[in-house]
Amino acid sequence: MKPEIGLTDDDIHLIIFSSIDFDWFTNLIVSQGEFRKWFDMNFEGESREELDFMENKNEIWQAVTTLGIEVVTWHGRIKENTEFILTTKWWETVRYHHFGSEMKAKFDENPELQKELRA
């Protein structure tokens, strides 16, 4: 694909990593629908559809990078049965642990948020 279309290694990485299915992130499964969008989209102008697509892919790229850091960090903590990291149960635990920790930190920083939530 790369020689025929004239894509660089960076182009290929961006297309693949922004097409990963988050439910199977640790298995690096690419979502066919997300992958196809790169080739079905007309990139000739500055249409709203094109801008929305690029904003979405930018968000996905940032999310994949963050989740990749999580996988590397947690993998280093696992001493045995490292294949457990490939399971959906592990992935959901890490994902929700991360979000929960961030939410707790925000509430700890700003007690007023807790009062608003209880009201």
Q: How would you write 12-31 as a 3-class SS string?
A: HHHHHHCCECHHHHHHCCEC
Of all residues in the chain, what percent carry a pLDDT higher than 90?
0
Higher pLDDT, 10 or 74: 10
pLDDT digits (tens, 9 = 90+) for 38-59: 888 777 777 888 888 888 888 8
Cα gap 34→115, rounded to integer Å: 41
Judged on CB neighbours under 10 Å (0-12, 13-18, 19+), 91 is buried
- Model pTM above 0.85: no
pLDDT at position 18 is 82
- CA 111, CA 18: separation in Å to the nearest integer? 37
- Residue 20 backbone phi and psi in degrees, to 5: -70, 140
How far the first Cα of the chain sits from its last, in Å, is 57
